[in-house]
Amino acid sequence: MEELVLTALGIAALYYQPIHISWWLWPIVFLSPDISMLGYALNTKAGAVVYNLFHHRGVAIVITAIGFFTHQPVLQFVGILLFAHSSFDRMLGYGLKYKDNFKHTHLETLNGNTL
């Protein structure tokens, strides 16, 4: 429930940003941080590092803050997008990845076993 609320707040914050995009681009933009899974093409360690960089809410908050304090709406948008997307992923059970296996996350092992 907590992640659902954070996702909804993130989506609402995106809606009120001065950057406006067409409705049909929203699903593409919202899921765009998952491009970070391409890091797994190299190996699981690189994949985990790249994936976690794009899905860490601390990184998202720092990017949002930099955008806010430097008056750069694009950075604010990107930071809020990363925050909303990572909350959405966590709502679905996808957490930050460990280096040993894509399915081993800080929330659970993705075959259904809670850690």
Question: Count of CB atoms within 10 A of residue 40's CB?
Answer: 16
Asked whether the beta carbons of 54 and 36 are under 8 A apart, the reply is yes
- pLDDT tens-place values along the chain, 115 residues long: 899 999 999 999 998 888 888 889 999 999 999 999 999 999 999 999 999 999 999 999 999 999 999 999 999 999 999 999 999 999 988 888 888 877 777 776 766 555 4
- pTM to 2 decimal places: 0.86
Instruction: Tell me if 42 sits within 8 A of 102, measured CB to CB.
Output: no
For residue 106, the 8-state DSSP code is S
Asked if 33 contacts 82 with a C-beta cutoff of 8 angstroms, the reply is yes
Q: How far apart (Å, rounded) are the C-alpha atoms in residues 94 and 71?
A: 32
